[in-house]
Structure 1
Amino acid sequence: MRMLRTYRMKLVISFGLLIVVTLLAIEGINYSHVRAELEAASSANQERMVSQIRTNIEQRMNELTRAAIRLAGDKQLQQIAEHLPDAPHELRSAVMQRLDFETRDSGISTVAIYDKDNIDKLWNIHAPPLNEQDWARWRREGAKLAFSRSPSKWSLDHYTKPGGAAMPVMLLSQPIYKIKTYEALPLGVLQLSTQSDWITSQLEDMKQQRYGQYFITDASGKVLIASHSDDMGRQLDDPQAFAEQTSSGQAKWSSKEWIFWVQKFSAQDWYLVAVTPVAGVADGVSAALWESVTVAGIIFTLSLGMAILISHTITKPIKLLRQAMAQVERGMFNTTVQIDSADEFGYLGKSFNRMAVQIRELIANNLQTELARKEAELIALQAQINPHFLNNALSSIDSLALQQKEPRIRVISQALARMFRYSISGGAMATVEEELRHVELYLSIQKIRYGDKLSYGIELEEGLESMEMPKLLLQPIVENAIAHGLELQSGGGYVNVYMRSDGEERMIIEIEDSGLGMAPEKLKHLEEQMTLDRYGMKQEGEVRRSIGLTNVYRRLKLLYEDDGGMELTSSPGFGTIIQLTLPKKAGKPHGERADRRG
C-alpha cells in the first residue's frame, strides 16, 4: 500500500508538472506572438518615420541645390566671379536683388562668391558671424568639393560661437563656370550656408512623440547632427559593425539595450539613424502577461483535482498486478490476473498472463536442455581414451608390421600416430602448413584403402604456409567428401584441396570432390541444418550427414563471426565444392614440435 501511495503521489505530481509545462508553453508562445506583433508594428512605424524625416530633409536640400544651380548659371553672377574682388557697383546691385529673391525664407545664413584658385578674392553678400579661421576653412573645403566629381555639393561643418561652443552648419558649394562656345571655364565658387536648426527641430519633435531618438551620422556611426548638442560627436555603435550593417543603405539591428533603424541619404554619405530602447518595445505585454498568469493558476487548480481522481482509477489495476507478481516471485507460476478493461492496463494484464505461461515453458525447456547437456558430457567422457595407451598401441602395431614385413600397415600406423600427436598437441590453432600436412596424412591412409579408386591433390599458394587457422578444420570435410561422395560411386574419383589469397586480409580454402553431388533441394536442406543445428545433437538419416559440416560452420562463426564463412556448391553428377573463408593472421607452428616430442 505504501508503494501504491507513493506511485499515486508521483502520478499526481507528474500530472501537475505536465499541466504547468503546458500552460507555460502556451503562455510563452502567446507572449512571443504579442511581443513579435508589437515589435513588427514598432518597426514599421519607425521605418515610416525615418523615411519621412529623411525625405523632408532631402526635399529641403534639393530645393536649395536647385536654387544654387540657377544662381550659378546667371550671367551677371558669372561676371562678378570673373572680376573679383572689384566688380562694378551696378552689377552687384543687380545680383543682390536676384540673391534676395532666390534665398528668401530659405533659412540661408551666409552667401559668398570667391575665386576658385584664390579664396581671398571674394565677395560676401551676407557676412558670416564667425571667426576668420572657420571662414577660411569653409572656403578651402568648398573649393575642393565644388570642382570634385562628387554628385553632391553638400558638406557638414561647424562654426565656433564666442563662448567656444561648436555649432553645426550645412554648406552648399556650387561651381561657377563661364560658358563659351565649345567649353565651360571654371571661374569660382558660390557657397551657401544654413544652420542645422531646422533639422534638429524635426529630430526633437519626433523624440517628444516617443518615437525614439534621431541622429544624422557619417558612415562610421559618428553623430553629425542631433537634437541635443551633448550628442554631437557621439559614437552610436562600433564603427566597423555600423559600416557592415549599413552597407546596403538601409538596415535594422539590435544590441542588448537598443534597436537601430538606419536609412542612407540618396546623394551624400550621411545616415539618418533612429534609436529606440529595447525595453520600451514590450511595455504593453506586461498587463496581458499577468492576466494570462491568473487564468493559468485557475486552470492549474481545476486540473490538479481531476488528476487526483484519474490517478485513483490508474492505481487500482496496478495493485492487482503487484499482488500477482508477488505470487510469481514465490514460485506460483500458475498465477493469473483478471483485468477486464480494454485499455492499456487490460493489455498489460494479458501480457502478464502470457509471461507466466512462457516462464513455465522456459523452465521446462531449460530442464530438457540441461539433461541433454549432461548426456552429451557423458558420451564425451566415454569417448575419451588414454593418449599414452593409444600412442603405445600404435607403436606396437608399427613394430609388428616391421617384423612381419607389412609396409602398408606400417605406413598406416605411422600416419595415425602423427595424426594423433597433431590432434592432442596444445592449443586450438595451427598453421596452414601443419593443417594441410594432417589432411595429407589422412588422404594417404584412404589411398591405401581405396587404391586407384581415389586420387587427391593439395595446392597451396606461396606465402600462406605460416598463416593461422583452426586445428582439425579440414579433415572432417575431406572425410565427408570421401564417405558421401566417392564411396557410393563405382568409378572412383578425386578430392582436391586448394588454398589461395583473397585480397590482403582474407584467404580461401576450397575442397572439391568428383562424387555424386546433391540435388538443389537436398543442398538447401543441408544448409538449413548447418545453421539450425546449434547443439550438435545426434541426428538420424540424411540429417546426420550434416554433423561434420555443422561443426566446421559453428567453429568458424565462433572464432571469426562475420569474418569467417562457408559456402556449398553442388550439382548431381558433378560433385561438390566447399569454400571456406578465413581472415589472414600469422601463426606459430605446433605440429612439428609435437612430432619432435614423439
Structure 2
Amino acid sequence: MKFITKMYLLLFVLMTPVILLFVYSTQLSTKVITNQINIANEDRLSQFMLKIEGMMDQVSNLSNLISKDPDFTKFALYSNTMNRFEYATLLETIEQKLGLFSLSVNKMSRINVYLPPSRHAVSSDGPLVYDAEYLKHNLSTRWTLRTITDSGITKRAFTRHFVQPYQSLSNPDKATIIVEVDLMEDNLISLLDEYKLEGNNDPFFYDNSDQFVYNDSANVEMAELITKSYDFEQSSAIANHEQIRLDDKKFLVYFNKSEKLNWTVIDYVPLQDILAPVTKSRQLFYIIVAILLTFGAVSVILLHLNVQLPIKHLTESVLSLKRGNFSERFRKKPVKEFQVLVFQFNEMAKQIQHLVEKVYLEEIRSNEAVMKQLQSQINPHFLHNSLAYIVSMAKMNRTQPVISMAYSLADYYKYTTRNVTMTTTVRHEIAFVTSYIDIMNYQLDNIQYSVDVPDSLLDMPIPRLLIQPIVENAIVHGLESKLGGGSIRIAGIEEEVWWSITVTDDGMGLSEEECAEINLRLDSSVKDDGHVGLWNVNQRLRYQFGSDSGVKVSPSDGGGLKVELRWKKL
C-alpha cells in the first residue's frame, strides 16, 4: 500500500468515528423532532376538522328542527285550503322563524324550504319559486359543493337537503317538507385562513372528484401537485401523514378525512423549514470537519511531495534502467535530502549505458555475420541444380539452352553476390524470381505462374533471396514430378500490422500431419538435415523482423502446397 494512501487511511480512521457519531445524533434528533411535529400537526388538523364538522352539525340540527316544525308542516299541508288572512299570517310566521334560524347559525348561510304538498317555497334570502324538476335532480342528504346565485352574485356553497318523511327521498313530490341548507364556501375559506395564521402551513380541502377549497393565499399549483402525487383515498398510511418528494424537495403532508362531509382537509409543510435548526447545526459541523480534513490532507500532501514522491521517481528511474532504457536519468531537481543519492544514481546509469552500448554494437556485428552466412548457404544449393541442368543440356548437344542458362546464371550471381547491402525490395526480388522461373522453364517447359502483389508492398525492404528458395522448392519437389506440369501463384497481402507473401503451387503437396511436422522443425533454432532452404528463410525473417515473423507451411486448396512468408511492419 502506498505511503500517501496509508496516511489518508489513518486520517480517515481518526475522523470516521466522530462523523458517524454526529450523523447518528443528527438522525436521531431529526427523527424525534419530526415525530413530535407530526403528532402536533395531526392533532391540530384533527381539531380543525372537528370544528368544521361541529359547524356542519349545528346547521344540520337547525335544518332538522325546521323540517319538524309544526307551522311549516301546517303550511305545507293546508295552505291551499286557508283563507287569505290565515295564509298571510302563517306565511309571515314561518318567514320570521326561518330568518331567526338563519341568524342563529352565526355563519354565512342560506336556508330554503320547499313544501311539495302546496307547491310553495320560502327562503331566508327572500322570495323563492318552487321548482319540482330542480328537486328531482339535485336532492342529496350529503354535503355537496355546488355553484349557486345569492343576491345576483355567483358563489360556491356546501349544500345538504333534509326531507320529511325520509322515505320520500327518492320521490320529492311525496315529501311534506324539504329543507335545503347552503353553507357558503367563504365560511370554510375563513377557517382555513385562521388555521394558516397559526403556523407555517397551507391547508386546503379536497375530495376525490378533484374539487378544491383553498385558503385566500394558497399555493394552488402546489396543492394540485400534491393531490396528483399521492392517493389520499387509497392511503394505507397508519398515521394521517406522509412524506413525499416534489420538485426535488421533501414535504410532510398531513390529511384528515371527514366521513360526514366526505372531504379531506390537507396541510403540508416543507421538511427543510421544520428541520432548519438541525440543518444549520449539521452544516456548521460539516464545515469544521472539512477544515480539519483539509489541514490533514495538506499535511499528507506536503509529506508526499517532499519524501515519498522523490523516492517514487527514483524508483521509477531504477525500474526504467532495469527494463533496458539506459539513457534514463533523474532530471527533476531533488530536495536537499536526496541530492547526493540522485547524483550517484545518474553517474551509475551513465556508466551502465556506456558498457551496454559497447556490447550491443558487438551483437549487431555478430548478427550481420550470421545473416550473411545464412544467405551464402542458399547459393551452393541453387548452383548445384543449375550446373546439373547445364551438364544435362550439354550432353544432349543443346547449345542454345546452355547459352541462355549461362547468361541467366551470370545475372543471377550478379544479383546474389551483391553484398554491399543484405536487403532488397519486394519489387526486385519478384523480378529475380520470375527470371528464375523462366530459367527453370528451359528445363521443364510446363510451368505457369502469376504474380499478384499490391503496390504498397513492392517497395518494402526484405532480405535478399527470400522468395526464390520457396519457388525453387515448389518446382523441384512439387511440380517437377507431376505429369502435365503445373502452376505457381505468388501473392502479397497487407494487414493491419503484418506483411505477408504466399507462394502456392498445385503440385504433389503434403498432408496436414507432414505440414505440421515441417512447421515444428522450422520453429527449432537448430538446423535440420532436411528442408534447409525453408529453415534458412525462416531464420533470416526472424533475424530481420523479430521472433514473431517466419515461414508457415500448409496444404493449398488446389492439392499442392502453400508457403506463407509473414513479417511485422516496422
The normalised TM-score by structure 1 is 0.50
Which residue is 1:173 aligned to?
160
Instruction: Give me the whole-angstrom Cα distance separating, in 2, the residues matched to 1:122 and 1:29.
Output: 74
Q: Please name the residue that 1:548 is paired with.
A: 537
**Paired letter, 1:523:** I
Contact map agreement 1:456 1:495 (CA 8 A) in 2: yes
Contact in 2 for aligned 1:84/1:122 (Cα 8 Å): no
Q: Report the equivalent of 1:479.
A: 469
Task: Report the Cα distance in structure 2 between the residues aligned to 1:446 and 1:150, rounded to whole angstroms.
Answer: 119
Does residue 34 of structure 1 match 2:46? no
1:283 correspondence with 2:277: yes
Give 2:457's aligned residue. 470
Task: Provide the rounded CA distance (Å) in 2 between the counterparts of 1:324 and 1:27.
Answer: 43
Counterpart CA distance in 1 for 2:253 and 2:179 is 35
Task: Provide the residue aligned with 2:111 in structure 1.
Answer: 111
Which secondary structure state, in structure 1, belongs to the residue aligned with residue 219 of structure 2? coil
Helix, strand or coil for the counterpart of 1:479? helix
Shift in Å, 1:470: 2.9
Equivalent position SS for 1:470: helix
Counterparts of 1:322 and 1:160, CA distance in 2? 100
CA distance in 1, matches of 2:188, 2:309: 79
2-side partners of 1:155 and 1:223: how far apart?
9
CA distance in 2, matches of 1:84, 1:579: 125
| Partner residue in 2 for 1:184 | 171
Structure 1 pair 429–514 and aligned structure 2 pair: CA distance change class (3 A): same
Contact 1:509–1:580 under 8 Å retained in 2: yes
Note closer, same or farther for the CA distance 1:204–1:413 as it changes in structure 2 (3 Å cut): farther
Shift of 1:329: 1.0
Report how many aligned residue pairs link the two structures. Answer: 479
Match for residue 253 of structure 2 among 261, 281, 284? 261
Give CA deviations for 1:202-246 in whole Å, capped at 9, x if unaligned. 8746864x56443446999998354xxxxx164343687566435
Change in Cα spacing, 1:443 to 1:41, as seen in structure 2 (3 Å) is farther
Specify whether residues 515 and 56 from structure 1 end up closer, same or farther in structure 2 by C-alpha distance, changes over 3 A only.
same
- Pick closer, same or farther for the CA change 1:215–1:444 going to 2, 3 Å: same
Native 8 Å contact 1:258 1:277 kept in 2: yes
Q: Is the 8 A contact 1:217 1:223 kept in 2?
A: yes
For the residue of structure 1 that corresponds to 2:203, the secondary structure is strand
The whole-number CA distance in structure 2 between the counterparts of 1:486 and 1:477 is 15
- The alpha-carbon deviation at position 123 of structure 1 amounts to 1.9
CA contact (8 A) 1:263 1:273 kept: yes
Structure 2 Cα separation of the partners of residues 84 and 366 of structure 1:
135
Partner of 1:398: none
Give the 3 Å change call, closer, same or farther, for CA 174–151 of structure 1 in structure 2: closer
Q: Which amino acid aligns with 1:38?
A: T
| Contact residue 38 and residue 281 of structure 1 kept, 8 A | yes
Q: Give the one of 553, 556, 561 matched to 1:568.
A: 553
**1:20-44: CA deviation from partner (whole Å, max 9, x where unpaired):** 9985997499459826962795388
Shift of 1:283: 0.8
Q: Secondary structure at the match of 1:442?
A: helix
Change over 3 Å in CA distance of 1:307–1:320 after alignment to 2: closer
- Distance in 1, Cα, partners of 2:406 & 2:78: 139
Which residue matches 1:523? Answer: 518
Instruction: Give secondary structure in 1 for the equivalent of 2:343.
Output: helix
Distance 1:149-1:81 versus aligned 2 partners, 3 A rule: same
Write the distance in 2 (CA, Å) between the matches of 1:202 and 1:70: 27
Take 2:360 and 2:62, find their aligned partners in 1: how far apart are those partners?
109
1:371 to 362, 365, 369: 365
Say yes or no: does 1:497 pair with 2:456: no
Give the whole-Å Cα distance in 1 for the aligned partners of 2:436 and 2:229: 88
Residue number in structure 2 paired with 1:330: 347
Which residue matches 1:341?
none
Mapped to 2, the partners of 1:381 and 1:514 lie a distance apart of 28
Matched residues in 1 for 2:52 and 2:550: separation?
86
Deviations 1:440-467 (A, max 9, x none): 5433322434x48xx644479xxxx695
- Residue 229 of structure 2 corresponds to residue 245 of structure 1: yes
Q: Normalization by structure 2: what TM-score?
A: 0.52
Q: Deviation at 1:112?
A: 1.8
C-alpha contact 2:45 2:256 (8 A) present in aligned 1: no
Compute the displacement of 1:527 (Å). 5.7
Q: Give the corresponding residue for 2:219.
A: 235
Give the Cα–Cα distance (whole angstroms) in 2 for the partners of residues 50 and 300 of structure 1: 47
1:172 CA displacement: 1.8
Give runs of aligned pairs for residues 406-425 of structure 1, distance below 5 A: 406-409=399-402, 412=405
Indicate the SS of the match to 1:174: strand
Deviation (angstroms), 1:155: 1.8
Please state how far the C-alpha of 1:281 moved relative to its aligned partner: 1.7
Counterpart pick for 1:154 among 144, 147, 154: 144
Distance 1:100 1:546, change over 3 A: farther
Tell me the SS of whatever aligns to 1:173.
strand
Contact (CA 8 Å) 2:141, 2:160: kept in 1 or not? Answer: no
Once residues 73 and 308 of structure 1 are traced to their aligned partners in structure 2, the CA distance between those partners, rounded to angstroms, is 92
Contact 2:510-2:555 at 8 Å conserved across structures: no
Cα separation, 2, equivalents of 1:76 and 1:565: 123
Q: Which residue of 2 aligns with 1:122?
A: 121
Letter in 2 for 1:367: L
Contact 1:171 1:194 in 2 (8 A): yes
1:145–1:270 Cα change, 3 Å:
farther
Q: Which residue of 2 aligns with 1:391?
A: none
* Aligned equivalents of 1:311, 1:552: Cα separation in 2: 49
8 Å contact kept, 2:453–2:490: no
Corresponding letter in the other structure for 1:525:
L
Which deviations, in whole Å up to 9, do the C-alpha atoms of 1:330-355 show, x marking residues without a partner? 24678xxxxxxxxxxxxxxxxxxxxx
Equivalent-residue separation in structure 2 for 1:70 and 1:510 (angstroms): 115
Distance 1:100-1:178 versus aligned 2 partners, 3 A rule: same
Matches within 5 A, 1:290-439: 290=284, 323-331=340-348, 363=357, 366-372=360-366, 406-409=399-402, 412=405
The amino acid that maps onto 1:479 is P
- In 2, the alpha carbon distance for the partners of 1:438 and 1:149 equals 115
Paired residues of 1:108 and 1:194 also in contact (CA < 8 A): yes
- Aligned-partner Cα distance in 2 for 1:205–1:570: 97
Q: 1:497 touches 1:511 (CA, 8 Å); kept in 2?
A: yes
CA RMSD across the alignment: 7.5
* C-alpha separation in 2, matches of 1:553 and 1:151: 104
Contact 1:179–1:185 (CA<8 Å) still a contact in 2? no
Question: Which amino acid is the alignment partner of residue 401 of structure 2?
Answer: R
Identity of aligned residues (%): 9
Q: Distance in 1 between matches of 2:411 and 2:165?
A: 125
Cα offset for 1:255?
5.8
- Tell me if structure 1 keeps the 8 A contact 2:257–2:263: yes
Q: Matched residue of 2:277: which SS?
A: coil
CA distance in 2 between partners of 1:444 and 1:360 (Å)? 53
Q: Is the 8 A contact 1:258 1:278 kept in 2?
A: yes
Q: Is the 8 A contact 1:113 1:123 kept in 2?
A: yes
Q: Deviations over 1:268-323 (max 9, x none)?
A: 67662323473442313444665677788889999999999999997998888764
